């Protein structure tokens, strides 16, 4: 059993904690991206999705998810920063010449500057929450769905936020660049930290991790970029035609 008399957390435990929380946050990103992409299916589906998220399990789901995410972020940041601190202590006098050994090494600017990319992502998340979660939702008003439910028109909120706002789109592009950099090393590193690799699988897991990193960053950028560039396609005042998906998500049994 774990010896509670010694409060010092083992370096292996810290790595595992960083890995588990990191992979959980990646899974959240995948879910978030799928949710985002429903915007391309039309305002009805996107608004229905938002409504579903906020009312699923009588609104308990979103609250549990938010508390969970906050906890995961806190643990991830704590354990990762504690690894960073150990780094400075473990080599008080550095080298005059620093080089990359190449070959099997995976050392890169991505792996060396995880703390920088991580902190940048944290700052971005705060801006992102101000942009959407804590934005004035009354401005965009509500939309009445086919079955009579009044939903917040988050479609309009998203389209208005990005349309004609080049500065914000640029900020999102930079942020996704940092996210990509963080995950290029992060995903594979989390798998290695959890002890899930073997000599034969390391090169593949490294590639898969990098592919997921690029896919996530590009996927998230699709929304602001397309809304910004294809002004005619995304109308903030679009009157939705209800489709099957929206109906399904707003079905009473789904909203619990």
Partner 1 sequence: MKVNLKIWRQAGPDAPGKLVDYSVENIDPSQSFLEMLDTLNEQLVKSGQEPVAFESDCREGICGNCGLVINGVAHGAKGGCTTCEIRMRQYNDGDTITVEPFRARAFPLIKDLVVNRTAFDRIMSKGGYVAMNAGSAQDANLQPIHQDLAEAAMDAASCIGCGACVAACPNASASLFVGAKVSQYTWLPQGQVERSTRALKMVKQMDSEGFGDCSNHAECEAVCPKEISIANISRMRREFSKALFAR
In contact, 177 and 197? CB cutoff 8 Å = no
Q: How many CB atoms lie within 10 A of CB 27?
A: 10
Place of tokens 């890995």: 19
User: Segment 84-113, which members bind partner 1 (CB under 8 A)?
Assistant: 86-87, 89-107, 111-112
Asked if 4 is part of the footprint of partner 1 (rule: CB under 8 A), the reply reads: no
151 forms beta bridges with: 143
Write down the least CB distance from residue 1 to partner 1, Å.
Answer: 6
Closer residue to partner 1, CB minimum distance, 96 or 237: 96
Asked if 195 is part of the footprint of partner 1 (rule: CB under 8 A), the reply reads: yes
Closer residue to partner 1, CB minimum distance, 94 or 252: 94
The dihedral built from the CA positions of residue 202, 111, 126 and 168, taken in this order, carries a sign that is negative
Asked if 189 is part of the footprint of partner 1 (rule: CB under 8 A), the reply reads: yes
Q: How many residues bind partner 1 (CB under 8 A)?
A: 47
Query: To the nearest 5 percent, what fractions of the chain are helix, strand and coil?
Result: 70, 0, 30
Write down the least CB distance from residue 75 to partner 1, Å.
Answer: 15
Site string for partner 1, 7-46 (x = CB under 8 A): -x-xxx-xxx------------------------------
CA distance 47 to 82: 41
Closer residue to partner 1, CB minimum distance, 100 or 134: 100
CA distance 16 to 20: 6
Q: Return the residue of 75, 77, 82, 245 that touches partner 1, per CB under 8 A.
A: 82
Q: CA distances (Å), 125 to each of 3, 49, 145, 176, in order?
A: 37, 21, 30, 11
Write down the least CB distance from residue 2 to partner 1, Å.
Answer: 7
Q: CA distances (Å), 14 to each of 19, 73, 172, 173, in order?
A: 9, 14, 31, 31
Write down the least CB distance from residue 114 to partner 1, Å.
Answer: 7
Q: Return the residue of 196, 207, 218, 230 that touches partner 1, per CB under 8 A.
A: 196
Write down the least CB distance from residue 124 to partner 1, Å.
Answer: 22
Write down the least CB distance from residue 77 to partner 1, Å.
Answer: 15
Q: CA distances (Å), 64 to each of 59, 68, 135, 244, in order?
A: 9, 6, 21, 28
Task: Give the residues lining the site for partner 1 (CB under 8 A).
Answer: 1-2, 8, 10-12, 14-16, 82-83, 86-87, 89-107, 111-112, 114, 185, 188-189, 192-199, 202
């Amino acid at each position: 059993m774990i010896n509670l008399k010694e409060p010092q957390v083992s370096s292996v435990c810290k790595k595992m904690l960083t890995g588990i929380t990191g992979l959980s946050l990646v899974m959240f990103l995948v879910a978030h991206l799928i949710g985002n992409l429903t915007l391309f299916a039309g305002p009805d589906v996107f608004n229905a999705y938002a409504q579903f998220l906020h009312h699923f399990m009588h609104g308990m789901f979103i609250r549990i998810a938010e508390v969970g995410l906050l906890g995961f972020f806190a643990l991830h940041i704590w354990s990762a920063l504690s690894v960073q601190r150990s780094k400075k202590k473990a080599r008080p006098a550095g080298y005059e010449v620093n080089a990359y050994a190449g070959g099997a090494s995976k050392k890169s600017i991505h792996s060396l500057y995880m703390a920088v990319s991580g902190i940048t992502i944290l700052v971005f998340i705060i801006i992102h929450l101000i942009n959407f979660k804590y934005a004035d939702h009354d401005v965009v008003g509500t939309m009445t769905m086919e079955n009579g439910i009044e939903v917040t028109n988050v479609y309009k909120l998203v389209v208005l936020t990005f349309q004609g706002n080049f500065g914000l789109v640029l900020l999102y592009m930079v942020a996704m660049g940092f996210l990509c950099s963080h995950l290029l090393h992060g995903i594979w590193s989390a798998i290695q930290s959890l002890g899930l690799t073997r000599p034969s699988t390391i090169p593949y897991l490294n590639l898969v991790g990098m592919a997921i990193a690029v896919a996530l960053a590009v996927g998230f950028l699709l929304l602001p970029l397309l809304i910004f560039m294809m002004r005619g396609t995304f109308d903030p005042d679009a009157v939705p035609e209800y489709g099957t998906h929206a109906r399904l998500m707003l079905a009473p049994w789904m909203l619990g």
